[in-house]
Amino acid sequence: MRVAVLGAGAIGAYVGAALHRAGVEVHLIARGPHLRELQTNGVRVLSPRGDFSARPNATDDPVEVGPVDYVFLGLKANSYAAAGPMIKPLLHETTGIIAAQNGIPWWYFHCLPGPYQNYRIQSVDPGGSVTEALPLERAIGCVVYAATEIESPGVIRHLEGTRFSIGEPDGTISPRCVQFSEAMIAGGLKCPVEADLRHDIWVKLMGNIAFNPISALARATMVGIARHGGTRELVMTMMRETLDVAQRVGCTPNISIEKRLAGAERTGEHKTSTLQDLEKGKPLELDVLLAAVVELADLTGAEIPTLRAIHAVADLLNEGITAQPPVATRAV
């Protein structure tokens, strides 16, 4: 089995190291000082489950890698549309693309029976740009329940969780999913193949849709948000609105708001990926988390005033990050 990890950052390098440990031929695609360290010394994983090292191949040029059996995407979803040229050299006739992303994926309504079958969510797949880069028939969904961070170039700190749930958009337990799952398990990770991965998507989104933007707006950790009376109530309201949208598109997550909130609180002084991006001056991953749910609310008639308000403020914050600095400023 040949696997390319495109975007071998905190999650991608962790998965790549685990697969390499299982005997898979792994190619990490990265850049900058992180790439140079991967090429020189490989990946070092620091984990409460035991530290380990791996020496998979590493490059910044997918052409050097060539066609593989699976492309594991460690990129943020807001980079997918531009990833086509990087992905194309990695594809053969049956290559699967495993998208480890937060939020609502571009393939969500692909092969989903019901009134919205094959509906394109414009906020995550504007004009079909993501589908063009990542063809729907190649898509394998992935919901990540692991927390990692790059401690230094080439060094991945694994904080908690080893579960990477995967699944086909059509709900089948396909041979390609089973094969990838077995390799992940052999590398020491959990990788269940789910017939209804959309359920997992909404369960995780219940937390992401609230904690991620609030963490950026308040510069707060997960436990800080959960233990502050005002933000705790805000999170619960956002979760209730999210569940309403989920139910209107045919999914009923079997987890209570209280349990989901408690699970987030147990992560402790953890900075969400959105807060980490803010601190690094990177664009915030809001389209798949908030904009997509607002679009689905418009589609289904759901009332989500709190989600709309948080989305508006977070989007304004994001505009400040992505905008070019003004040529001159005027005193006020």
Give, rounded to a whole angstrom, the gap between the first and last alpha carbons of the chain. 62
Catalytic residue among 76, 88, 204, 271: 204
CA–CA distance, 21 with 248 (Å, rounded to integer)? 43
Please tell me whether residue 66 adopts helix, strand or coil conformation: coil
Order across the sheet with 25-29: list the strands: 52-54, 43-46, 155-167, 139-152, 96-100, 70-73, 2-6, 25-29, 57-59
Q: What stretches of the chain show up as alpha helix (H) in DSSP?
A: 10-21, 32-41, 62-65, 84-87, 129-133, 175-186, 197-218, 222-227, 229-248, 257-265, 273-279, 292-300, 305-322
* Helices first, then strands: H and E counts in the chain: 13, 9
Indicate if 204 belongs to the active site: yes
Which residues are known catalytic residues? 204
